[in-house]
Structure 1
Amino acid sequence: MITQPWCRRMAQYNRWMNRKLYACAAQLGDAQRQEDRGAFFKSLQGTLDHLVYADTAWLYRFSGRDVATLNPRQPQRPDFASLRVERERLDEEILAWVETLDETWLAATFSFTSQMSGKTFSSPNWQFVTHFFNHQTHHRGQATTLLMQFGIDPGVTDLPAMPD
């Protein structure tokens, strides 16, 4: 099972990487960020927007808020500037949230119904929290590839390289 300090480290890594990616993405024009490059969420903007949606949805689920108020098929923020502001706010919320975690909550069973598939899933919270952080890393990997296609190298993305 994961621990609260592990979650804290992953939240710190999440914020570090998001800041790096958004700084790189800011070097592009809006048309480039929104250009369909054949990625799962089409563009760099679409990929970054999906991460904001997914992180928000998971935080809603974990805190008992109504996920039905979110629409996974609509952009969360239509422009890069507001998306970047929301990403910063969300990363701070994630950092605060992980400070509330303890072994009892992490071990408890959690159930939710996916907005995308309509399927209901049940597992210990720690498995969903692991997925939460893994999902971020997965899509940031796609974002780094999109940036590289534009000739922008985000640099080292490895956890041990994160400055403390």
Structure 2
Amino acid sequence: MVDNAQFALMAQYNQWMNQKLYAVCASIPDRDRKRDLGAFFKSIHGTLNHLLYGDKAWMGRFTEQPFTGAKLGQELYGDFDELRQARVVLDQQILAWAQQLNVDWLHAAFEYTSGIDSQTRVLPTWVLVTHMFNHQTHHRGQLTTLIKQLGYEPGITDLPWLPALNSYG
């Protein structure tokens, strides 16, 4: 049975990892953050922008407040500090949202139209919420590789190291 505890945990993990990675990225010169390193979204900055875009798109669908005015791959923020602040705000929204998810809503059918192929799909909501969190993890994995390639250390990224879990049991 899927419930909101799983997604609340993933929202905590998302926030924690974004805080860690943005802290490391703040120490990387802007020209290096924006340098094309051959990643899918070219640079660290491009990947950070894509992560924000994806989360805004999914959260817009889930909260029935569509995210408009941007396209896949578009830079939402050229300024790192503005990008970081937008990330902080969105992570707080995701955490609050995940903590109040309703089990019936998670198990209901969810219809959406993809921004990638314009196809309309209907899937269980919990599958799409899982996808949002999986998408974050996927691209943060790319970020840690890019960060390491530039000689910086992102630290441990595994879920069991989430500080909130240290007091478990």
Q: Is TM-score (shorter-chain normalized) higher than 0.5?
A: yes
Q: What whole-Å deviation, never above 9, does each CA across 1:32-54 have from its counterpart, x for those lacking one?
A: 00000000000000000000000
Question: Offset at 1:70?
Answer: 3.3
Is 1:49 the counterpart of 2:71? The answer is no
Question: Could you say what the CA RMSD is over the residues aligned between the two structures, in angstroms?
Answer: 1.1
Q: TM-score, normalised by structure 1?
A: 0.96
Percentage of identical aligned residues: 49
Question: Offset at 1:122?
Answer: 1.0
Consecutive unaligned residues of structure 2, counting only runs of 5 or more, are: 165-169
Consecutive unaligned residues of structure 1, counting only runs of 5 or more, are: none
Counterpart CA distance in 2 for 1:156 and 1:45 is 21
Deviation beyond 6 Å, 4+ runs, structure 1: none
Counterpart CA distance in 2 for 1:116 and 1:67 is 14
Counterpart CA distance in 2 for 1:85 and 1:45 is 14
**2:130 paired residue number:** 130
Conservation of the 8 A alpha-carbon contact between 1:57 and 1:70: no
Number of residue pairs aligned between Structure 1 and Structure 2: 164
**2:22 paired residue number:** 22
**2:167 paired residue number:** none
Question: Offset at 1:67?
Answer: 3.5
**1:10 paired residue number:** 10
Question: Offset at 1:119?
Answer: 1.3
Instruction: Report the residue type matching 1:50 in the other structure.
Output: H
Q: What whole-Å deviation, never above 9, does each CA across 1:52-86 have from its counterpart, x for those lacking one?
A: 00000000000112344433242111111100000
Conservation of the 8 A alpha-carbon contact between 2:41 and 2:73: no
